[in-house]
Amino acid sequence: MADLRRSPLYGRHVDLGAKMAGFGGWEMPIEYAGRGVLAEHSAVRGAVGIFDVSHLGKAEVTGAGAAAFVNACLSNDLGRISAGQAQYTLCCAEDGGVVDDLIAYLFSAERVLLVPNAANNAEVVARLAEAAPAGVSVTDRHTGFGVLAVQGPAAPTLVAALGLPTDGAYMSFVEAEWKGHPVIVCRSGYTGERGYELLPRWDDTPALWDALFAAGEALGASPVGLGARDTLRTEMGYPLHGQDLSREITPVQARSGWAVGWGKERFWGREALLAERAAGAARLLWGLTSTGRAIPRPHMPVTTAGGEPVGEVTSGTFSPTLRQGIGLALLGRGVNEGDTVNVDVRGRPSPMTVVRPPFVQSSPR
C-alpha cells in the first residue's frame, strides 16, 4: 500500500496470510487467515494472544528535569508513581481537547519514554520539543523499539518460558534481557486480561516474535490482529483516540478525569478542563447494549424513546463474549444509567440500554 509504513514483522504477517490494511499511517494486520476476529478474540479471553503493535509511537524525553517537564505538560501526575512504573496520561490542547492518549514510562527524573498512538506520534513529539527547556531533549524513537503485546490467562506462562520476568505489579516495568538483547517488559495491555507489553529493539522484534510462538504452541497461542484488539478494548470500555477521545471530546466528557492530575499547578489544557469540570460537561460517555440483534457503529445518531436527539455512537461492535451488540456513545446530561435509547441503525430505530462499562469483567491485575 503506497505511503504506508511497515512494522518489522510485516513479512511474518504476510506469511501468516494476514488481511492487511492501513491504520494510523501503517500497514497492519486486521485478522489472520484460518482464524478471524472471533477466534482471535476468544484466544485472548481463554488462552493467550500475541499482537504486533509496533506501529505505536515512541519518544524519549531526557536530561535534567525531564520528568518534571513532562509532568508540566501531560495531564496525569507522574508524582503518583515512581521509577519503574508506567502511567496512562493525556496530551491535551489548551482548550481541553485531547491531542492524544499515551503511556509514560518513568525511568528516572532524567528519562521518560512515551508511547503515543501511531498517527499522533509526530505531533506529540513536536509539541514537547517546542516547549522543552534548555537541557531537556525530546527524541523521536518511533522505529527504535518494536512492541509486542502478550495478553490472556496464559500470558505469564508464555512470557516466563522465554526467561523474562512476570511477577511485576500492574503497570510496572523492568529492563530485562532476552538472549543478550535488551527488552522492556511492562505489565500492561489494552484487553482487560492479564498481560505484558514487550519493547525489544526494532531489529530484534522478529526473533522475539518467533520465540513467543515456538514457546506458545502448547499453550494455544494465537496471533491477533487489530480487529480483535478493537473488540477486546470495546468490551472493557477502553477509549480509542479519534473516536471516544479527540480534539473535540475532552477527558471530562470521556470520563477520563482519573487520568488528570487535578491538583497539579500546570499541565496543558488545565484551565479549560477545570472550568468544564466545575460547570459539568454537556455530554458524557456511556455504554450501550443492544436489546435485539442490532449492532451500533460509530457516528450512528442516538435518540430518546420519544425521538429526541441525545447524542451519537463513538465506538460499536459485536461482542464475541456477550454475543450481542455493544458500543460507547456521547450522550446528553439528561440520559441516565438504565435508560432505553434508540440508535439509528441503517434508518431503523434500534432500542439499546444505557450502561456503565466495562461490559465484561476484567482480570488485568
List residues forming the annotated binding site: 197
Helix (H) or strand (E) holding 326: strand 324-332
How many other CB atoms sit within 10 Å of the CB of residue 163?
12
Helix, strand, coil shares of the chain, percent, nearest 5, are: 25, 35, 40
Identify the residue whose cell numbers are 477527558: 251
Alpha carbon of residue 113 to chain centroid: 16
Residues in the annotated binding site for substrate:
197
Long-range contacts of 320-324 (CB under 8 A, 24+ apart): 320/37, 320/38, 320/41, 320/42, 320/45, 320/231, 321/41, 321/45, 321/235, 321/359, 321/360, 322/235, 322/289, 322/359, 322/360, 324/289, 324/290
Single out the residue of 75, 23, 41, 100 nearest to residue 234, CA to CA.
41
> How many CB atoms lie under 10 A from the CB of residue 3?
7
Residues in Cβ contact with 148 at an 8 Å cutoff, skipping those fewer than 6 apart: 50, 51, 52, 53, 54, 197, 198, 200, 205, 208, 209, 212
